[in-house]
Amino acid sequence: RRGGRAGLFEIAHGGTLFLDEIGEMPLPLQTRLLRVLEEKEVTRVGGHQPVPVDVRVISATHCNLEEDMQQGRFRRDLFYRLSILRLQLPPLRERVADILPLAESFLKVSLAALSAPFSAALRQGLQASETVLVHYDWPGNIRELRNMMERLALFLSVEPTPDLTPQFLQLLLPELARESAKTPAPRLLTPQQALEKFNGDKTAAANYLGISRTTFWRRLKS
């Protein structure tokens, strides 16, 4: 096609472009990206005429970019150009209260993509399996949780089960069972005892028991 095809920056003109895993970008591409951000224009592949672009860029990475800058793997000028506002998310294992809602959301979306229903029984099964989920270390963070729920959805779309138990979940997702075997998680305290142990701090008590605040509050009242 004469003049080249529009690239992502041109398509995103007037909007937002998300660049995932920016820390994995090779240095030559970092240089080209910096030029686009500074000059606010691009040239199509096969073209010669600069095209103005106005794009808000959001980027994400699992890398330590400050360390990468020291090692020469990431351009310092690009880092400061991108890091106008920085948000640092803790790993999923430190966000215990997020695991069950995210698992439910990912499973619901994955089942919908397979034209399979997300039933009340499945929701209750996930809630009953919360201890198994929160005691897994989640080295792959949210991507790993999403992948697990996609695998679970694939199985459930073919073999619906009315009884999603912790044992069934560990059988289908064996990494959860291996983690449980390495790190047994007995509940040594009742919710009331945990609350007293942490001087009334519900978040600390819930984290100690390996459950969300909602589940902690429900068990405390029951």
Q: How many domains does the chain have?
A: 2
Residue 43 located in a structural domain: yes
212 occurs within a structural domain = no
pLDDT of residue 214: 81
* Residues 142 and 117 grouped into a single domain: yes
User: For 30-50, what is the mean pLDDT?
Assistant: 90
Among 57, 70, 61, 77, which residue's Cα sits nearest to residue 25?
Answer: 61
The domain that contains 76 carries what CATH number?
3.40.50.300
Question: Does the residue 208 lie in any domain?
Answer: no
Say if residue 106 is in the same domain as residue 78: no
Cβ-in-10-Å burial (0-12, 13-18, 19+) of 142 comes to middle
Q: What is the pLDDT of residues 47-97, one digit of tens each?
A: 778 999 999 999 999 889 999 999 999 999 999 999 988 888 888 988 888
105-122 confidence digits (pLDDT tens): 999 999 999 899 998 888
pLDDT digits (tens, 9 = 90+) for 151-203: 999 888 877 765 788 888 888 888 887 755 444 444 446 788 878 877 787 87
Domain assignment of residue 17, given as a range: 8-82
Q: Which pTM value belongs to this model? A: 0.64
